[in-house]
Amino acid sequence: MAPFVPILIMMGLAFAFVVLVTIVTFILGPKKPTPQKNAPYECGISEITPPQRRFPIKYLVTGMLFIIFDIEAASLVPMAVLMKRLGVTGLIELVTFIAILLVAFLYVWRKGAFTWE
Partner 1 sequence: MLAGQIAFYVLAAAAIGSGIGVIAFRNAVYSALSLIVNLFCLALFFLMLNAIFLATVQVLVYAGAIMVLFLFVVTMLSPENDESLPTPDRLGLWQRGAAVGLGIILAGAIGYIVVGQAALHPDAVATGAQDLASQISRNGNTEAFGQALFHGFLFPFEVTSVILVAAIVGAVVLGRRTSSREGE
Partner 2 sequence: MAFTYAISGGDWARIAPELALLVAALLVMLVDALIPARLRGALVIIGVMGVLAALAGVIMLYASSGSPSAFGGMVTSDPLALFATLVILAATGLSLLLSPGYIERQGTRQQGEFYALVMLAATGMVLMAASTNLMMIFLGLELLSLPLYVLCAFAPGQQRAQESGMKYFLLSSFASGFLLYGMALIYGATGATNLGGINHFVATHAMSATAGFGPILLGGMALLAVGLAFKVSAIPFHAWTPDVYQGALTPVTALMSVGTKMAAFVALIRVFDVALAPVRADWQGIMWALAILTMVGGNILAATQTNVKRLLAYSSIAHAGYLLIGIALGTQAGIAALLYYMAAYAVMNVGAFGVVLALERVAGLGTNLDDYRGLASRRPALAAALAVFLFALAGIPGTAGFVAKYAIFAAAVTGGHAELTIIGVVASMIGFYYYLRVIWAMYFVPAPDMPAAEAANANPHLSLAGLNSAVVTKLAASGTPLAFSAGLALALALIGTLGLGIFPAPLISLARQAAGLP
* Residue 113 in contact with partner 1, rule: CB under 8 A: yes
Q: Tell me whether residue 14 or residue 39 sits nearer to partner 1 (CB atom).
A: 14
Count of residues of this chain found to bind partner 2 when the rule CB under 8 A is applied? 9
Tell me the residue type at 117.
E
Q: What is the 3-state secondary structure (H, E, C) of 46-92?
A: CCCCCCCCCCCCHHHHHHHHHHHHHHHHHHCHHHHHHHHHHHHHHHH
* Residue 113 in contact with partner 2, rule: CB under 8 A: no
The residues in 40-99 that bind partner 2, with binding defined as CB under 8 A, are: 89
The number of CA neighbours under 13 Å toward the Cβ of 83 is 4
Q: At what angle do helices 58-75 and 77-111 cross, to 10 degrees?
A: 150
CA–CA gap between residue 62 and residue 57 (Å, rounded): 9
Question: E strand or H helix at 107, and its extent?
Answer: helix 77-111
* Residue 64 in contact with partner 1, rule: CB under 8 A: yes
The residues in 8-47 that bind partner 1, with binding defined as CB under 8 A, are: none
Q: What does the angle CA 1 – CA 77 – CA 62 come to, to the nearest 5 degrees?
A: 115
Among 33, 40, 110, 115, binds partner 2 (CB under 8 A): 110
Q: Which does 63 bind (CB under 5 to 8 A by kind): partner 1, partner 2, none?
A: partner 1
List interacting residues with partner 1 (CB under 8 A). 1, 4, 50, 52-61, 63-68, 70-75, 77-79, 81-82, 86, 89-90, 93, 96-98, 100-101, 103-104, 107-108, 111, 113, 117
Residues that bind partner 2 (CB under 8 A): 89, 100, 103-104, 106-107, 109-111
